[in-house]
């Protein structure tokens, strides 16, 4: 493990998704999880549709 990761959760923008994610966090589902993909607008120069995402697997 390289350390901790922080996440901003916006319940006002996506209440069901936020509640579901926080339920998993509180239940320990992501304890020891691997975050294996980070995509930012600046590291996808040839894509016309830009995304900003971090993918993980419990």
DSSP for 1-50, written as a single string: ----------TTT-HHHHHHHHHHHHTTTTTT-EEEEEE-GGG-TT-SS-
What is the rounded CA–CA span in Å between residue 18 and residue 12? 9
pLDDT of residue 35: 75
pLDDT in tens, 20-55: 999 999 999 988 888 777 788 788 878 788 878 777
pLDDT of residue 20: 96
What is the token pair recorded at 47? Answer: 């894509």
Q: Which letter does DSSP use for residue 58 in this model?
A: -
What is the token pair recorded at 15? Answer: 């209440």
Indicate the pTM of the whole model.
Answer: 0.63
């Amino acid at each position: 493990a390289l350390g901790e990761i922080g996440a901003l959760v916006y319940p006002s923008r996506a209440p069901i998704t936020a509640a579901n994610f926080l339920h998993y966090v509180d239940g320990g589902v992501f304890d020891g999880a691997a975050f294996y993909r980070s995509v930012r607008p600046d590291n996808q120069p040839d894509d016309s549709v830009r995304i900003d995402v971090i993918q993980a697997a419990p």
